[in-house]
Amino acid sequence: MKHYKRKVLFLMSIIVIVILAIYFSENNLKISYKYFNPFIENEQVSVEKQYVIPGGQTIGVELKTKGILVVGLADVVNDNKITTSPAKEAGMHIGDKIMSVDNKPFSTTQDFVSYINKEGIREYNIEVERNGNRIQLLITPIKRYSTNDIIFGFWARDNIAGIGTITYIDPETYEFSAVAHGITDSDTGELIDIDSGSISKANITNIKSGKKGEPGEIIGFILKDNNKLGSVRQNTPFGITGVINEKSLSYFSNNLVEIGRRDTIQVGPAKILSCLDDEIKEYNIEIVKTYYQSRPTDKSFVIKIVDEELLSLTNGIIQGMSGCPIIQNDKLVGAVTHVFMNDPTKGYGIYIEWLLDESHQKKSNL
């Protein structure tokens, strides 16, 4: 009898264990399924609507580099008719930023040249910044054989200027985003680390149409005096950001446009805002392809210019149109970034979310 009871208790224990195992495995399966299923039904996420002032204005951009940017190294014939390069031999690299000479800070090439001409031929302690590190270089310049000038053997610049387009302005903070891609040095190809900058009104004098293998451009000049619109704070991989001067706000529209998140953009008709003469106009485009992206990149979707008026003016996307706002279903969904070299009627756009995220991130890091 005792043996029989033991068997019954043993079997009951086994049954309880099996039931518990099934129960917990089913619940774990349900939890796992809910966690990984990307198509959860009847679950709505509330996202607060956001509005900005759309851009489209063609602007002049002037940036002051951080330090003096080395953009090239050169060989020089000295007064003994020997070819040499003091800068190269001392270890200077293209892309170095000259921060000081003999522990004296320098920010312009003019000040640098004036100091060297005053001091003459001797050894100089030049501090450069390279990949975030400070490096000391000891360089003794030479006299050029042909001109008797004091030469180090490097090319440098301290500023850059060009034409671009404003994408949007925050109506509360007056912060703006423009150009929609990083501004790089034409010689080094690197993103320019800036000390300061400004945007101003620009006068367009000509339009050079684009063609296969040869991008067109907006030709013009930056207006000076009282035509400054704002200051530039950051040059990011996704364009420049800064703040509009309060007195310049009247130059921009008071109209607001809703931000369209990247999950709302669709293949189909859209418009870009651009100013190629004296006023901002809407031009018809097609969004022909979109890319799923979980992290920022300046090539989020492909666009094609289909507007006959714009095609007659530019033959597609040209330099200076980077930053043009892209509107779809009355929402700002992105901005123009690049043109296809083999087809100027096509180019890339960037999701507006990436520009907003970059602006907010840079602001929080200030």
| HSE-CB for 43 with a 13 A CA cutoff | 6
The residue to which tokens 């031999």 are assigned = 89
Of 96, 100, 107, 181, which residue is the catalytic one? Answer: 181
Catalytic site residue 360? no
Q: How far is it, in rounded angstroms, from Cα 228 to Cα 245?
A: 8
| Angstrom distance (rounded) from CA 30 to CA 61 | 56
Query: What distance, in Å, lies between the first and last C-alpha atoms of the chain?
Result: 83
Q: Which has the closest alpha carbon to 82: 159, 136, 157, 144? A: 144
Is there a contact between 65 and 160 (Cβ–Cβ < 8 Å)? yes
Q: Distance (Å, rounded) from C-alpha 122 to C-alpha 166?
A: 48
Inter-residue contact 320 to 217 (CB < 8 Å): yes
Nearest to 315 by CA among 216, 220, 248: 216
In sequence order, what DSSP letters do the residues of 209-231 get, joined into one string?
--BTTB--EEEEEE--TT-EEEE
181 vs 60, 200, 233, 252, CA distance in Å? 15, 18, 15, 22
307 is catalytic: yes
Please confirm, yes or no, whether 181 is among the known catalytic residues: yes
**Contacts (Cβ under 8 Å, ≥6 apart) of 269:** 284, 285, 286, 287, 328
Instruction: Identify the burial level of 349 via C-beta atoms within 10 angstroms of its C-beta, where 0-12 means exposed, 13-18 middle and 19 or more buried.
Output: buried
Residues marked as catalytic: 181, 307, 322
